[in-house]
Amino acid sequence: MSKNPVQDQKPPSLLVTRRQFLPLLGATAASVSAARSVLAAAPSDASGKPSGAKARFVYVGTYTAPGVPPGGTHPSTAVGIYVFRLDPSDGGLKPLQTVTASNPSYLALDPTLQHLYSVNEMTDGHVSAYAINQANGMLSFLNTQSANGKDTTHLSVQPSGKYLFAANYTSGNFPVFRILANGFIGPMTDEFQSVGNGTGPNPARQEGPHAHQILTDLDGNHVFGVDLGADKVNVLNLDPGAGVFSPNTVPFAPVASGSGPRHMAFHPDRQHAMSSTSWPRPSQFSTMSWCALRSSGSRRSRRCPPTSPA
């Protein structure tokens, strides 16, 4: 466990202008927001009807200086996690806090919105925990743990709030950690090592497994590890008591060869999942039938249609 890397900086008193925000956006990797429960109801719009927008705290993760963000051309000037308050009347962002951290490129909130978790996407990958002040949205560092892999690129909180999942891109493994009652990241309870055969159509990016995302289905019943290097989505079960992975009856869902799956999301109908892909063009999407990802080994599951471009 490493020492507290957090150092708060005094936030500017003015709203962020477009000129100020755009350079930061270039280093931004991910952001999350939490509704501010202590604020009054949102004001009415010009028609007199109540606005549906709510005041929120916004948390922006970044790739930090002096490195060059993936796909970038210039060194980053960001220093960590940026905390803003969103004005629902005009969408303005007021800076509240800057939390110094190393490459907090992906952030996740727990179900209670009391804690925020971040990756530290470095060669020696880590995951870090912060407590959220419910009154002002500011972060307080709790602890950090080694992710037991290289270049931790994604993390998510199990819907029960009891476990934290992470994806280590370069080493291709998916660790799981117990979340303690106080929000601290506890010990790693298990990890799954994805396997790639090194024969992907893109030799520069598919020479081996590359874990890019880990998440559960909408009901939290199964865990899915997206592997860009192996062109597949690993399907796992998690023992809710021990925090140990086991392969699903259907252990993985293949995606189109050479597509490089990045992130997936489940449709609210619980019958389909969508995956964004890297190639042949970035931001293309593949779709897969939910029955291909079910725990059942039934004939219906085996007859599922293959992954197809959307």
Q: CB of 51 within 8 A of CB of 44?
A: yes
Structure tokens at 96: 């509240």
pLDDT value at residue 271: 79
In 3D, which of 164, 71, 160 has the Cα closest to residue 117?
164
Chain centre distance of CA 69: 17
The pLDDT tens digits for 66-84 are 999 988 999 999 999 999 9
pLDDT value at residue 35: 62
With bands split at pLDDT 50, 70 and 90, how would you rate the model's confidence at 28? low
Kindly report the backbone phi and psi dihedral angles of residue 154, in degrees, each rounded to the nearest multiple of 5, phi listed first. -155, 155
Kindly report the backbone phi and psi dihedral angles of residue 24, in degrees, each rounded to the nearest multiple of 5, phi listed first. -65, -40
The pLDDT tens digits for 32-75 are 777 644 333 334 455 544 456 788 999 999 999 999 998 899 99
Q: Biggest alpha carbon distance in the chain?
A: 62
Look up tokens 């471009």; give the residue. Answer: 309
Structure tokens at 213: 């995302």
What is the pTM (predicted TM-score) of this model?
A: 0.82
> Mean pLDDT highest for which of 68-72, 296-300, 304-308?
68-72
- Within a 10 A sphere around the Cβ of 13, how many other Cβ atoms? 7
